[in-house]
Amino acid sequence: MNRGMVSVPMKLNHVVEAQQFNREMLAEIFQASRAMETVAKTGGVAGYQNRIMATLFYEPSTRTRFSFEAAMHRLGGRVITTENAAEFSSVSKGETLEDTIRILNGYADLIVIRHFEVGAAQRAAAVSRVPVINAGDGAGQHPTQALLDLYTIEKEIGKIDGLNIAMVGDLAQGRTVRSLAYLLGKFKEIKIHFVAPALLRMKEDILVYLRERGVQYDEETDLNAVLPNVDVVYQTRVQKERFGDRIQDYEKCRGLYILDQSSLDRMRPDAIVMHPLPRVDEIAMEVDRDPRAAYFRQAQNGLYVRMALLTMVLTSSN
Ligand code: CP
């Protein structure tokens, strides 16, 4: 048991959107995440054995649900879960999200929710007495992914200010790039290249936010033109599930930007490739062998960042 490592964690209540974090909070989260890299190996934190986390996922997940659940187990706490809440919870009988949250308040000390509707985590937080963490709300936000993305960038490159970052792929429907753009807007001399076809270009609300903060950005369709100039390539999947019946639009957008050996050859030797995952075909398997491929390390960092976040929200719900 580790008694000193997380002795005075910063207090957090609900985690619903990336904008809620300022730079001081980010620095604290990253410091706590670094400590968690040791805690994860050495076995738990005193006082967590009676703390319970509920994971309520209405959309599929590999990384987010498993890393949150592993994080709680690594801290020494307990987990209650439903892996397909739409089918296996009483939502299938017509129960509202709000009633589900009110009921879970009686069983758990915090709730981690993934939902297909934008704003669902905010709705849950509005009726919850225990902290709610947004693990992805439709095409809205995925704030804990953005935190682990930024942690990865700092860990891999050593800084965030002054970086040149390409975000590639499904920017219109991608909650990870939206949350990451919000966080990057808090740093100095950031330059973002949004690389996407016209149908998937970054939404105006994010562009307005960046302009208001003086963040430089441009919109490109030619990935190869951008690759030699960037510190980070943040690749994303074109999300078939978000197109609904617009199959023709999906077919127009898929496969346009594939990172392969020729892409690596264009990139700087100290640049990194990131991806929130899952990938389909937008990063060729040959890229995995290159040390600049940071996406599996990025997913591993999710464990440490989520451990840190759990200590912070559980502090506030004592
Ligand atoms: N990055 C991410 O959210 O992955 P999952 O959908 O597997 O949780």
Q: pLDDT per residue over 204-236, tens digit each?
A: 999 999 999 999 999 999 999 999 999 999 999
Task: Pick the residue whose CA is nearest to atom 6 on ligand 1.
Answer: 61
The residues that are catalytic are 63-64, 93, 114, 142
Task: Pick the residue whose CA is nearest to atom 4 on ligand 1.
Answer: 63
pLDDT in tens, 308-318: 999 999 985 55
Choosing from 145, 149, 283 the residue with most ligand 1 atoms within 8 A of its CB, the one to mutate for a pocket test is: 145
Sheet of 52-57: strands edge to edge? 78-82, 52-57, 110-115, 132-137
- Any atom of ligand 1 within 6 Å of the Cβ of 143: no
**Contact of 135 with 68, CB cutoff 8 Å:** yes
Calculate what percentage of the chain has a pLDDT beyond 90.
Answer: 86
Task: Give residue 90's pLDDT.
Answer: 82
Q: How far is the CA of 60 from the centre of ligand 1 (A)?
A: 8
pLDDT over threshold 90, residue 116: yes
- Any atom of ligand 1 within 6 Å of the Cβ of 145: yes
**CA quadruple 43, 48, 51, 53: dihedral sign:** negative
- Any atom of ligand 1 within 6 Å of the Cβ of 277: yes
Domains and CATH numbers, the chain: 18-141+302-316 (3.40.50.1370), 143-298 (3.40.50.1370)
**pLDDT tier for residue 159 given thresholds of 50, 70 and 90:** very high
Choosing from 56, 277, 282, 283 the residue with most ligand 1 atoms within 8 A of its CB, the one to mutate for a pocket test is: 277
pLDDT over threshold 60, residue 277: yes
- Any atom of ligand 1 within 6 Å of the Cβ of 227: no
